[in-house]
Amino acid sequence: MGKKKLTPAQRKYQEKAKKAEPKPLYLRNALFAFLSGGLVCVIGQGLTDFYSRIMNLPPEEAGDPAVATVILIGALLTGFGVFDNIAKYAGAGLAVPVTGFANSVVSSALEFREEGLLYGISAKMFTLAGSVITFGVVTAFIIGLIYAIFL
Amino acid sequence: MGKKTGKQTYQIANPPMIISTGTVAGPFEGLGPLAQDFDEILTDARNEQSSFEKAERSILIKACRLALDHASFSSTEVDLFLAGDLLNQTISSNFSAISLGIPFIGLYGACSTAALGLGLGTLILDGGFAGSVLTATSSHNSAAERQYRYPTEYGGQRRSYQQWTVTGAGAALLGYTGEGPRVTAVTFGKVMDLGSTDPLNMGAAMAPAAADTIVRHFQDTGWDPNSFDLIVTGDLGKVGLDLCRQELSEQGITLGDNFNDCGVMIYDLSKQDVHAGGSGCAASALVTYGPLYRRLKRKEIHRLLLIGTGALHSPTSYMQGENIPCIAHAVRIEV
């Protein structure tokens, strides 16, 4: 991408088009992402503390149900149609944490409901999240291999 | 016959009238500044259908029925139905043609379809091949989003130059009975590729095609910007409209306040969160067949130039890194 040869006329026009693009509000977006991302982390930490102190899970295991709970919240917010309205302002603050993953899976599943359980929901559920899973598994495998060989 | 003047324009010897129109707008479009000039406004974007695709089809049929009713025409009296839409294999139009039962020619011009249908219908009528033609087009925000971009509930930030696909449908009945504004000249555009690859920045991709067709129309007909009360492009949005203006001024054509864009007009850009404006087949169909048609009939505007603009890419072509080819067709409407 971007390496394709452009004719002089195309290059000239693309320069003009680039100039005409309204600039995104970088500072506002970064601030909102920082605050909302931080809030997600605070909730996650609160849940971890809840599972370890109140539910008496060992601290190193309390993270797993906490992550699952955050996924559940993200999925529910998507189902109720609120997630996209919040994400419009939060941006990366909600997209980068596991909430973004939950939203991409649930929104796809909802969207393709009409095409049936098999070819719709089940097949299309991971259209957006599929690459995250693929790279996650591949990375985990490589790290695991390094861990097994060198440590 | 010599109906063709210049390189791309057809002067219509026996100009047909737009006898009637039908418009159905989505709920969000119903909050915009043009709401009072649409025939019907949906309260539910699904229109009581089980899918967004079926919803789009139902409003396309509704718009066609409205156009027929306004002229007291029955569908059996119409010779041809020309329609197109954005969904794969133009299913909204194909399926609508079942229930209308009029001989059908499917069109694909992406968002230029309203102008394409008006232009083609006019040529067919002027050629004497039909006595009446119904032309229509539709788009649905949620159906288009899920085909071209992301699921409806996906939470992502939209770009500042991005446009909002209009939910709605517009139909026009062309013929020689009754009264109405006439289509007097048609300019079909060439497909242009100015190197745009970003499917979210359609305005910038389509602006050169619009400018080219406008220049061609003026050169072919000898008319100039001052000949028109209003010149509207289809769905360039704010970014595309500015770029189009710039392209034209570089070619020595200065457009004044009588130059606007249907995608900009249909929403209140300061209040409705649509970024650069509206897009989709329904943008130009709703604005032209709704408010502009009514203003023509009231003789508030006498000469209108509509330039329908379309981006002719598909999700497959841009995923494979190809540029976005664009087209624009111009239709001159006079009272």
* Domain layout of chain B by residue ranges: 4-175, 182-334
* Confidence (pLDDT) at A1: 46
The continuous run of DSSP H or E covering B216 comes out as helix B202-221
Can you list the residues of chain B whose pLDDT is less than 70? Answer: 1-2
Query: Given a cut of 80, is residue A2 above it in pLDDT?
Result: no
Is the CB of B158 less than 8 angstroms away from the CB of A11?
no
Q: What is the pLDDT of residue B240?
A: 97
Rounded to a whole number of angstroms, the distance from the CA of A63 to the nearest CA of chain B is 25
Nearest to B194 among A10, A83, A112 (CB): A10
Section A28-33 average pLDDT: 94
CATH number 2.40.100.10 is the correct assignment for the domain at B182-334: no
| Residues in contact with B152: Cβ distance below 8 Å, sequence separation at least 6, in sequence order | A84, A107, A110, A111, B52, B142, B145, B146
Q: Residue B196 and residue A107: Cβ atoms within 8 Å?
A: no
Q: What is the pLDDT of residue B151?
A: 85
Between positions 114 and 143 of A, the ones with CB within 8 A of B are 114, 128
Residue found by looking up tokens 């249908």 in the block: B117
In chain A, what residues touch B156 (CB-CB under 8 Å)?
A: 84, 87, 95
Residue of B nearest to A77 (CA): B153
Asked whether the beta carbons of residue A9 and residue B155 sit closer than 8 angstroms, the reply is: no
Of the residues A6, A12, A18, A21, the best mutation for testing chain B's interface (the one with the most B CB atoms within 10 Å of its CB) is: A21
Interface of A with B in 18-37 (CB under 8 A): 20-25, 29
Do residues B63 and B136 make contact, with C-beta atoms less than 8 angstroms apart? yes
**What's domain B4-175's architecture?**
3-Layer(aba) Sandwich (3.40)
Q: What is the arithmetic mean of pLDDT over A12-33?
A: 93
CA distance B270 to chain A (A): 15
CB contact (8 A) between residue B153 and residue A106 = yes
Question: Minimal CA–CA distance to A31: which of A92, A122, A85, A86?
Answer: A92
Q: What is the largest CA-CA distance in chain B?
A: 57
| Any A CB within 8 A of B72 CB | no
Residue of B nearest to A94 (CA): B155
User: Which pLDDT tens digit goes with each residue over A35-79?
Assistant: 999 999 999 999 999 999 999 999 899 999 999 999 999 999 999
Cross-chain Cβ contact B196/A1 below 8 Å: no
Partner-chain residue, chosen from A14, A20, A90, that has the shortest CB–CB distance to B195? A14
Size of interface A-B (CB pairs under 8 A): 99
> In degrees to the nearest 10, what's the CA dihedral of A30, A35, A40, A44?
120
What is the distance between the alpha carbons of residues A56 and B159, in angstroms, rounded to a whole number?
Answer: 46
A93 pLDDT higher than 80: yes
Residue A34, Cβ density class (10 Å: 0-12 exposed, 13-18 middle, ≥19 buried): middle
Best residue in B141, B145, B153 for a mutation probing chain A (most A CBs within 10 Å): B153
Tell me: the pLDDT tens digits for A135-149?
Answer: 999 999 999 999 999
Which has the closest alpha carbon to B257: B235, B232, B275?
Answer: B232
**Shared fold status for B4-175 and B182-334:** yes
Average predicted confidence (pLDDT) for chain B: 96
| Sequence-distant (≥ 6) Cβ neighbours of residue B324 within 8 angstroms | B193, B196, B197, B198, B199, B202, B205, B311, B312, B313, B318
Out of A7, A108, A114, name the one closest to residue B51 (CB): A114
On whether any CB of chain A is under 8 Å from the CB of B158, the answer is yes
Residue A3's pLDDT is 56
* CB of B315 less than 8 A from some CB of A: no
Looking at residue A116, its pLDDT comes to 92
Contact B197 A1 (CB under 8 A): yes
Using a CB-CB cut-off of 8 Å, the residues of chain A touching B201 are: 17, 21
Give the Cβ contact number of residue B54 at 10 Å. 19
Q: Which residues of A touch B204 (CB under 8 A)?
A: 17, 20-21
Model pLDDT, residue A24:
85
Between A9 and B152, the more confident residue is A9
